[in-house]
Amino acid sequence: MKQKGPKHTIQQEIEYVCQTSSDFKVCIDALKTDPKSSSTDIKKGFVRILLQQCLTKTNSIYSEIVSLLEQVKELVLIQSLQVCKETYDSAIDDATSSLKHFDANNFLWRGLLLLQLRVL
């Protein structure tokens, strides 16, 4: 009969998942503050939480850019913000696709998923 190893705590699992993040502290903080992290399918659930938070942050920044575009008058600022807006529009599309493929267990998109996690 195969013995099970020791059960890991949620904290240990969070730290394990965040080891591959480009910003360990941001990843840890993001997972600790999400109430779903204590009741989720450990690793896969954590990745989904991080992807969702990435999409939420990206949408928030996009909204700020749009707001700034409505306020500024200087051409150079308008041009710079327009580039930012286009970049974040693309990032929103990527994050949305990542979530969709992740939820469908289509891990051929794992490269895109890793890219999204590095944004955090």
Q: Could you give the domains of the chain?
A: 10-119 (1.20.140.40)
Stated pTM of the model = 0.64
The per-residue b/e assignment along 104-117, b for 16 or more CB within 10 angstroms, e otherwise, is eeeeebeeebeebb
Q: How is residue 106 written in tokens?
A: 């289509």
Instruction: List the pLDDT tens digit at each of the 120 positions of the chain.
Output: 444 545 667 777 778 778 877 888 888 887 777 666 555 566 677 778 888 888 999 999 999 999 999 999 999 999 999 999 999 999 999 899 888 888 887 765 555 555 555 554
Q: How far apart are CA 34 and CA 65, in angstroms?
A: 26
Place of tokens 């913000």: 81
Q: Which CA distances in Å does 105 have to 7, 74, 95, 110?
A: 25, 46, 15, 10
